[in-house]
């Protein structure tokens, strides 16, 4: 069933994803192959313990390079891999949901974990008596899966544990053990039962990520697009030329030769598909979505893509997300992880939503702040004569929500942020703060307010720059800012109506200085600034010259609130390359002002 294959293979992310998969696999020789996918049930931690484990994952990579544990995210294996036909996946997901619901209130909390180390293994083992309880849950799932799908699930019978490191160099044992001892295993944790699948044909293959584009020069070569994934097997390399490997593309299903230095080793789980996540302690958004939507509310036409058009395909409503989007670890897949720069635009602005005279809408006769719309925040920091809100507008309630959603997505994708820099504009500071709230790092990670990240001053109205709130006052108003940070470009160095060339040069220089200051002390840097910053802070890092001001403005107009991009450092060359962000984009529609009197009482 081709329509089911496209749904399961893309995780039911969207109608467009399923359609794209069908069209991109039109020449896939295995398109009509009924071979089922391989599934597995894991227990995954979330919350504070997961944050500690993600930190260990990243630091162990930085300190000792990649080991076998890094191929998969932190987890406790509850069953062996098992086969499930595409048309039974919905029922399989329902079986997991039903079993978890039956186990609410019975799941052990907290889950006792004990650190164990040997010469080539480090892990956290579940106390055996409690492990028996988890095995019973796995057995109940196996029974429910067999009842609903006739699929045979084999519960894991070995000691239950969460692997931290294995197959590492003996010289790294002491460093890894020290890092492992820093994990606070008694931290709060919500354990999730999660279901994943993979293409069984590539279960014993190595997974590579495409770093550079390549157009085939010969019929036996494979086209490469950056960010894609390639599967290779040592069995297929016997007759290849030096410097070339034979692989199969995840994106198209096609196989061929490709230049070896155009790809980089990835994690095994990067190409897995996520089919559902259920908490033992609460009914989370994923589970609610499953109840409300179901996995396959609509199906694609089963005809081949070349015999039908998008207009013939009914709507799909499904809940799964591809593993390469949901579970990606920051850093590279080589021995030393790559540094990543994230640049993000601020959230929705009050003055854009409510107009330049918005202050008159939320001030009473005594000059006190009173919101007149639910999208206005309940209060504003330092309201009164201390604020220059006319030139430094805050974000709306929805702007704060947008930012928290981005932070939550980064947390869900296991992306660690080591440093946060932001423009001095209040809207950027508030956005950074709310991203940290979503990341559950509010109060733990301090934001560095950097005036050099302010937008092109030509766009500032009037003859002076805004009177930004000083970091000390922001800290006094409960913003998580670093009051000890000394700006790379002080506000006094900024000039009104600077030239385009000066703005691009300033943005490039401050970004380079930020990355230089953070080198060797952290891998991932987040910059929260303006729409123009996504272009200005990354373009010249890639070795590309700045485009003319007219084209630049056209690019900036296309960047929405919380527009997000990622750039990775390419080895020791000093060059950077834009890559797929670890989170999905954020899209929403307009919501105009509604006056019920004017609308509903009209004669």
How many degrees, rounded to 5, is the angle at CA 597 between CA 595 and CA 602?
120
> Exactly one of 346, 349, 404, 448 is catalytic; which is it?
346
Cα separation, 405 vs 391, in Å, equals: 27
> Exactly one of 345, 387, 404, 539 is catalytic; which is it?
345
**Closest C-alpha among 364, 335, 345 to residue 406:** 345
Cα separation, 101 vs 213, in Å, equals: 47
Does the annotation count 345 as an active-site position?
Answer: yes
Kind and range of the H or E run holding 422:
strand 419-422
Cα separation, 215 vs 224, in Å, equals: 7
Is 198 labeled as ligand-binding?
Answer: no
Owner of token pair 């609460």:
282
Does the annotation count 530 as an active-site position?
Answer: yes
Task: Output the DSSP codes for 230-247.
Answer: EEE-GGG-TTPPTTEEEE
Q: Cα dihedral angle (483, 489, 492, 496), rounded to 10 degrees?
A: -130
> Exactly one of 25, 275, 321, 530 is catalytic; which is it?
530
Pair of tokens at residue 324: 């390469």
Contacts with 455 (C-beta within 8 Å, 6 or more apart), sequence order: 423, 425, 529, 530, 531, 532, 533
Task: Output the DSSP codes for 469-488.
Answer: PPHHHHHHTT--B-TT---S
Residues 491, 492, 497, 502, CA torsion sign: negative
Do 115 and 185 touch, CB atoms closer than 8 A? yes
The three-state secondary structure class of 338 is coil
206 DSSP 8-state letter = E
Active site residues: 345-346, 530
Enumerate the known binding-site residues.
427
Enumerate the known binding-site residues for substrate.
427
């Amino acid at each position: 069933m081709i329509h089911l294959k496209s749904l399961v293979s893309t995780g039911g992310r969207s109608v467009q994803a399923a359609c794209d998969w069908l069209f991109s696999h039109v020449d896939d020789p295995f398109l009509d192959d009924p071979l089922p996918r391989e599934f597995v049930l894991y227990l995954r931690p979330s919350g504070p313990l997961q944050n500690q484990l993600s930190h260990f994952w990243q630091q162990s990579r930085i300190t000792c390079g990649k080991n076998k544990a890094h191929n998969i995210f932190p987890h406790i294996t509850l069953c062996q891999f098992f086969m499930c036909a595409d048309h039974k996946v919905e029922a399989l997901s329902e079986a997991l949901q039903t079993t978890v619901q039956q186990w609410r209130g019975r799941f052990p909390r907290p889950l006792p974990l004990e650190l164990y180390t040997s010469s080539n293994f480090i892990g956290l083992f579940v106390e055996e008596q409690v492990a028996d309880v988890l095995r019973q849950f796995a057995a109940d799932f196996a029974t429910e899966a067999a009842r609903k799908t006739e699929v045979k699930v084999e519960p894991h019978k070995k000691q239950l544990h969460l692997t931290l490191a294995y197959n590492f160099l003996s010289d790294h044992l002491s460093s890894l053990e020290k890092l492992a001892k820093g994990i606070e295993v008694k931290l709060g944790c919500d354990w999730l039962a999660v279901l994943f699948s993979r293409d069984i044909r590539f279960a014993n293959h190595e997974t590579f990520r495409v770093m550079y584009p390549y157009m085939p020069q010969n019929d036996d070569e494979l086209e490469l697009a950056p960010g894609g994934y390639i599967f290779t097997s040592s069995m297929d390399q016997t007759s290849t030329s030096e410097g070339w490997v034979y692989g199969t593309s995840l994106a198209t299903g096609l196989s061929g030769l490709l230049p070896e230095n155009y790809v980089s080793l990835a994690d095994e789980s990067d190409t897995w598909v996520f089919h559902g996540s259920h908490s033992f302690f609460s009914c989370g958004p994923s589970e609610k979505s499953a109840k409300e939507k179901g996995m396959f509310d609509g199906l694609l036409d089963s005809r081949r893509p070349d015999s039908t058009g998008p207009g013939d395909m009914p709507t799909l409503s499904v809940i799964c997300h591809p593993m390469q989007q949901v579970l990606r670890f920051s850093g590279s897949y080589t021995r030393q992880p790559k540094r990543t720069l994230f640049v993000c635009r601020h959230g929705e602005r009050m003055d854009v939503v409510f107009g330049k005279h918005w202050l008159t809408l939320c001030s009473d006769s005594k000059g006190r702040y009173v919101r007149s719309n639910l999208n206005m925040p309940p209060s504003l920091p330092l309201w009164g004569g201390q604020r220059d809100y006319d030139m430094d507008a805050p974000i709306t309630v929805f702007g704060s929500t947008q930012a928290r959603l981005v932070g939550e997505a980064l947390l869900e994708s296991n992306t660690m942020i080591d440093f946060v820099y932001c423009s001095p504009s209040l809207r950027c500071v508030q956005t950074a703060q709310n991203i940290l709230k979503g990341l559950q790092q509010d109060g733990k990670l301090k934001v560095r307010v950097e005036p050099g990240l302010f937008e092109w001053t030509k766009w500032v109205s009037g003859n002076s720059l805004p009177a930004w709130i000083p970091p000390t006052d922001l800290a006094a108003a409960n913003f998580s800012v670093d009051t000890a940070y000394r700006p790379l470009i002080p506000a006094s160095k900024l000039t009104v109506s600077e030239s385009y060339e000066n703005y691009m040069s300033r943005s490039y220089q401050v970004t380079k200085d930020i990355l230089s200051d953070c080198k060797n002390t952290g891998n991932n840097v987040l910059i929260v600034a303006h729409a123009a910053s996504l272009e200005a802070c990354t373009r010249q890092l890639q070795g590309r010259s700045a485009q003319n001001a007219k084209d630049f403005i056209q690019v900036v107009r296309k960047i929405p609130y919380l527009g997000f991009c990622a750039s990775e450092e390419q080895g020791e060359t000093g060059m950077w390359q834009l890559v797929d962000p670890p989170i999905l984009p954020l899209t929403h529609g307009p919501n105009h002002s509604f006056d019920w009197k004017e609308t509903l009482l009209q004669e």
